[in-house]
Structure 1
Amino acid sequence: MTEGEELTIDDEIVARARIHAREVIDEHDLGLALDALEWRVSARARRRAGLCRWHADREVATIVLARRAYERYEWAEFAAVVRHELVHAWEFQRFGESGHGSRFRELAATLEAPRHCRSFAEPRYVLRCRERGCTWRATRHRASKPVRAPDGYRCGDCGGALEVEHTDSGRTWESASGFGGAKAALGDEW
């Protein structure tokens, strides 16, 4: 950083995450190689608070943290996201792979890291079963295939037909053409 240059929110996120990571690694004697750990901030992420990418060719793990999550969570919850991603980094460095299985759960419990992190944004779409009495629903942040063409998918519980709601407008559709019609009708409000 040069003289007169101000720190950004991204600089703050990375600095706090690195400090917390060092404390966790030292406290739990993880043996995680800090020199093989990179940090990034995503301004685009809308759903995922963090992720860990493994670059096997360089044997480096990159932890990517969502700026929006940092802005919406209290520090304790965001620090838990950092610990969650540290578990992935540890698995990558030790085993070359990572998931949310028993090995992950065991270390996550030791570090008081959640198995899954809470979404920090409201979903853009809600998928619901149309069958009477069925309460199945799923949320989406992007226009995935089931959102664009719900008639090609079935309820996860009873197998019934689906409908999709655009949460901002309340418009619903049950087919690909319904999706196109809703999108066209909403225009800039989409």
Structure 2
Amino acid sequence: MERQVFIRLRHRLQADPNEYITLGNIAQVAGDRKYKEKLEQLFVYQVSPSDQNMVVLDVIKVIEIIHQSFPDLDVQTVGSSETIVEVHYSKKRLSPVFFIAVWLLLFIGAGLAVMNFHEDVSMREVHIRLYEMITGEVDHYPYLLQVPYSIGLGLGMILFFNHLFKKRFNEEPSPLEVELFKYQLDLDQYVAMNENKETTKDLHDH
């Protein structure tokens, strides 16, 4: 009697160099309990130096590996057709001097961008006009408006990005996190299409 199992490949997996990857690492397995544990321990791939940073495991190859050990097993796939394995190499510790230099560069660049924007929209003139409308007096340095505005600008940026250093204010993702998520999806799609040997076969290969 033919047994049936369902597998759903995980979208992304981090692995160490030369690590042995099993089916349980790259997929969720459901179905006949008799096969579930054996399938989860089934060897699928070993990371090698030639893989560099990324390797794509295709669902067809996974099914072939399963059928080599369990030829009569009916394997049904759900979800993604490939798993992206990201090879995680140990990173060198960042130099404090380099970190401070980058931080200063970004800080000064962001400050200049804000100041140039305010100059383009004539923010100083707007504050002077608002101060005149509220108090009836002309003040070319309306600190009563400029100081609260500057504080509010900083607080607004903190609330907008939903972060204060490593602290989150709520579970809602910030616009930056959403954009990074979209970028990661596009990058994963590109890797899946270009690194998957099953989708990039050369018709002239023999």
TM-score (normalised: structure 2):
0.24
Bigger RCO (CA 8 Å, 6+ sep): 2
- Compare CA radii of gyration and give the structure with the larger one: 2
